[in-house]
Structure 1
Amino acid sequence: MDKKAILEEVKKLIAAGSVCPEAKKAGEDYLASIGTAEEKKAAEALIKELKEDVTSIDGLIAFASSPDGEKAFGKDTAEAVRKQAEEAKAKGEKICICEACRAAAVLLENQDLLLKL
């Protein structure tokens, strides 16, 4: 993965409908810091936030199966999300299948590169 690909993943994270406000801000702060003395500090903050936010596939299944998940997604969508998550788990997936978690996982897998940009 190169710098351009890392930056695209940060942009995917920020644009994801499922991103939490804290991760979105950390991503935006990182992009704004590129080329400044604050870049490494912003990268570290982004990585810290992503480590706190990435949900496991089991966590997604539990949430989608709960009253809170039904409230957040609506009954039919919660059921669909649960089924998709169970299918993904059966195929070996370990993390949540939402756009934000997928982008975060790529960034965390490449965090050494993110810190060196």
Structure 2
Amino acid sequence: MNLNAAMEKTRELMNASSCSQEAKTAAQVWLDAVGTEKEAEETKKYIAELEADILSVDDVIAFTGSEQGAQLFGADTAKKFHAHAKDLKAAGEKYCDCPACTAGRAVLDLLK
């Protein structure tokens, strides 16, 4: 594992506007635990949080096409996100490409 790269990507994740509060909290707790006796335990928790938060393209399509998605993003923005997610799927992508999901996948690749 490249710990420095994982820490850098974790900071990138935390700075992403699309990052959930739960992921930000797990990321900070993990960063604080690096180099301590709690590192292994917090790494497992952090990985679990990232796995729960990273969205598949199908999840993005479903959410942005829903009433909840329209309420959260606004109808026009939800439609744009929906079209983008459909384009991703058509291109063979499996995961959301927002900054948080992209950084989260990179962290998982480094920590697993």
> TM-score when scaled to structure 1?
0.88
Q: CA deviation at 1:2?
A: 2.8
Greater relative contact order structure (CA < 8 Å, 6+ sep): 2
Instruction: Show the counterpart of 2:26.
Output: 26
Deviations 1:49-70 (A, max 9, x none): 1111111101101111111000
Alpha-carbon distance between aligned partners in 2 of 1:4 and 1:83, rounded to the nearest angstrom? 36
Q: CA deviation at 1:42?
A: 1.2
Alpha-carbon distance between aligned partners in 2 of 1:78 and 1:97, rounded to the nearest angstrom? 15
Alpha-carbon distance between aligned partners in 1 of 2:82 and 2:25, rounded to the nearest angstrom? 28
The count of aligned residue pairs is 112
Where do 5+ consecutive residues of structure 1 fail to align?
Answer: 113-117
The answer to whether 1:65 aligns with 2:65 is: yes
Q: CA deviation at 1:109?
A: 2.1
- CA-based RMSD of the aligned residues comes to 1.3
Alpha-carbon distance between aligned partners in 2 of 1:2 and 1:53, rounded to the nearest angstrom? 22
The residue correspondences of 1:2-21 to structure 2 (distance < 5 A) are 2-21=2-21
Instruction: Show the counterpart of 1:100.
Output: 100
Which letter maps to 2:16?
A
Which letter maps to 1:44?
K
Higher mean alpha-carbon deviation, 43-52 vs 2-11, is at 2-11
Which letter maps to 2:99?
E
Deviations 1:5-56 (A, max 9, x none): 2111111111111111111100000111121111111111100111111111
Instruction: Show the counterpart of 1:85.
Output: 85
Alpha-carbon distance between aligned partners in 2 of 1:54 and 1:68, rounded to the nearest angstrom? 18
SS at the partner of 1:17? Answer: coil
Q: CA deviation at 1:4?
A: 2.3
Alpha-carbon distance between aligned partners in 2 of 1:12 and 1:62, rounded to the nearest angstrom? 26
